[in-house]
Amino acid sequence: MTLSGIFFLYFALPVFMAVYAVCRPHRRAAVIAAGGVAVCAWGSLWGALLLTLSAAAAYTGGILINNFKEKRGISKLILTVCCVINGIIFLLFSRSLYSPPDMIPMSEKFFRAVGASVYTLHSISYCADIFRGRYAAQIRFSEVFAFVGFMPCLNCGPILRYDEISETLDAPKIRSDLLADGILLYLYGLSEKIIIADRLAALQEEIRSMGAERVSAPTAWLGAAVFGAWFCFELSGFFHMARGFALMLGFELKKCYIPPLGSYELKSCLTGINPSLSEWLYDYIVLPLKGKAVPAALAAAVAGGLWYGTSRSFLVWSVMAAAVIALETLLKKPLGYLPKVLRVMLVISAAVICGGVLSGGSYEEGILWLGAMFGSNPTSTENTTWYFLRSYAPTLIPAVLLLTPLPEKFTSRFGQQFIPAARPAIILALLILCTSFMLSEPQMAEFMF
């Protein structure tokens, strides 16, 4: 069940909210947990079992680690067991729909478990934080289950920390202001996903349909740039929907998306589009390997790439990005002398080049696409770049604007004056528009893990 589907919006959401509203606040964690099970079971009944296994590992592991906190060896072993269980679930059952899971050929034999990329990371972070003494283990299973399988985040994230929601999880309250904000944020995310991201996906598909062997260098660059923009909107759309849904339930999640255009460094550009994943990678991969900078960075890059998809193209993409970030760190001083505009352009170019390897879909096509960007098809006579730019200008111009921090600055300055009064009209307009798109074209949720 995807947050961007007609069934979720018109059937699952109202039913879930009705059940949630009539339950007493201290029982709502159990309702969220049940919702998580339903989302996972929607793809396959075995998916619900995997979520239960992951939650049980977190719950049992958390209590045991807590009980053996004085005996670091035993608690470390328990943490390792918890990580191994979740790691296996992640590697075998988690995959995005974007590219074939060719990294771990064995995983193709298994079904795709919805939410496995998210709840495994929740489970690991919960045990690791207890191990580090960040908080004590929770004894109510429903609360741990609700955190691990936090229903709004199961599609694509953001990745949460237990202490981010634990206070609310005790007895979540539905508040009219949060409910109204949540509805608007959910619909905004939905429109980002199905109106903008899917339009960019259609454009990218048209560009890709020309074939990596035939495409000219300018069109190949355009294809990679469009892929990058689509990738950002796909993530941002799901994150906003998740945050909006969580707000409806009474949870205020922290901001989980920073527009990438305008960054002076590739690192901040990439971490900005998925800060919750970056923080997770830093806390649970880089920090434990402190003092070993290169292995830590490589491990984080590989894990980050695998999170988006267990395919070779994502692996190459993440390693390329890590290499550029390492170069950036080395050249920090000289780069600092460059004009800001030039630095932004360099970051965009680097991001597009890295994205080139993903633009082809499969690994082989991706490599060819990357080659095409650097003129491997010198005899190509196709000249559609201008055509695409001209035709899709009504999508590309607002998309580029939305990828900059400008809209956010605008809404933070003027939004408070206009949005509350116009909210019912905006909700109505977005609902009509989103419904028409959901009903009229097949839903593409490539990064619904």
Question: Under the rule (CB under 8 A), what is the footprint of another protein?
Answer: 1, 5-7, 9-11, 13-14, 17, 42-43, 176-177, 179-181, 183-184, 195, 199, 202-203, 206-207, 209-210, 382, 384, 387-388, 391-396, 420-421, 423-424, 427-428, 431-433, 435-441
- Minimal distance in Å, beta carbon 230 to another protein? 14
Closer to another protein at the Cβ: 1 or 372? Answer: 1
Closer to another protein at the Cβ: 23 or 56? Answer: 23
**Strand boundaries in 162-224, DSSP class E:** none
- Minimal distance in Å, beta carbon 350 to another protein? 27
Burial 420-439 (b: 16+ CB within 10 A, else e): eeeeeebbeebbeebeebbe
- Minimal distance in Å, beta carbon 313 to another protein? 22
Q: Which of 58, 9, 16 is nearest to 437 (CA)?
A: 9
Closer to another protein at the Cβ: 282 or 418? Answer: 418
- Minimal distance in Å, beta carbon 264 to another protein? 31
- Minimal distance in Å, beta carbon 48 to another protein? 12
The SS3 call for residue 94 is coil
Closer to another protein at the Cβ: 206 or 283? Answer: 206
Closer to another protein at the Cβ: 341 or 439? Answer: 439
CA distance 367 to 388: 23
What the block records as the tokens of 378 is 């010198």
Closer to another protein at the Cβ: 387 or 410? Answer: 387
CA of 203: how far to CAs of 198, 222, 388, 389, 437, in Å? 9, 10, 8, 10, 16
* CA terminus-to-terminus distance, the chain: 11
Residues ≥6 apart with Cβ < 8 Å to 415: none
CA of 420: how far to CAs of 99, 200, 243, 258, in Å? 41, 30, 18, 23
Closer to another protein at the Cβ: 31 or 306? Answer: 31
> Got the DSSP string for 211-231?
-TTT--HHHHHHHHHHHHHHH
- Minimal distance in Å, beta carbon 167 to another protein? 23
What the block records as the tokens of 381 is 């006579």
- Minimal distance in Å, beta carbon 211 to another protein? 9
Is the Cβ–Cβ distance between 179 and 216 less than 8 Å? Answer: no
